[in-house]
Chains A and B, each alone.
Chain A
Amino acid sequence: GQSLEQPSEVTAVEGAIVQINCTYQTSGFYGLSWYQQHDGGAPTFLSYNGLDGLEETGRFSSFLSRSDSYGYLLLQELQMKDSASYFCAVSRPGAGSYQLTFGKGTKLSVIP
């Protein structure tokens, strides 16, 4: 089966840096994605790592170590609007396509 583990809640101060970790066990693996979801809203794509290493997109960075089955999302210069749930998701082969398996999400609260 597939399983992803990430912390359920994280609290950080505005302007600070926060790291959200994700470990996974899966049969078949293309890469690791991160999605952001505000309360009541739709998930939106943040980043994807297909290879080991760091990917940077503005204030957000994501890291993957395939040998350790581990990745993280790094959020810098936190803003109040970053308060949301963050999901890691494994891309794995599906019939003629691919599937995403999501973790249960990390609820980030940014405080003044």
Chain B
Amino acid sequence: DGGITQSPKYLFRKEGQNVTLSCEQNLNHDAMYWYRQDPGQGLRLIYYSQIVNDFQKGDIAEGYSVSREKKESFPLTVTSAQKNPTAFYLCASSSEYNEQFFGPGTRLTVL
């Protein structure tokens, strides 16, 4: 079955540690996206990538980094520079401009 996988579903880290969230898709989509969602809020764009080895900052990129070495993979690193990293992180991919497919999300809690 085609889809997007994110791992792990729940992640706990100590303050000051970097953490990397995984996102893999087998939909053969060119574009991939990372969003952050806080309780009662909409999704805010962190980074996006249209093609391999290229990515662009979204609205809230500070304290995050990404890589796009393979078409299928778009990992997100939450660095210690991110002041409030506890949130629900969603990865998405798309082939058209009008629909994005989302993974199940990773809920990150920084203690």
Contacts and interface: CB of A to CB of B under 8 A. Distances in A.
Interface of A: 4, 8, 30-31, 33, 41-45, 48, 50, 87, 89, 91, 94-105
Given A42-B103, A91-B97, A100 B50 contact: no
Contact of A42 (B31, B98, B104): B104
A78 B105 CA distance: 27
Interface in B34-57: 35, 40-45, 48, 50-51, 54, 56
A89 B35 CA distance: 13
Given A87-B42, A97-B31, A98-B97, A43 B90 contact: yes
B58 A45 contact: no
Contacts of B105: 41-42
B102 A42 contact: yes
Given A87-B42, A104-B42, A105-B41, A95 B97 contact: no
A45 B50 contact: no
Nearest to A99: B45
* Most interface-central of B42, B51, B102, B103 (chain A CB within 10 A): B42
Contact of A99 (B48, B51, B99): B48
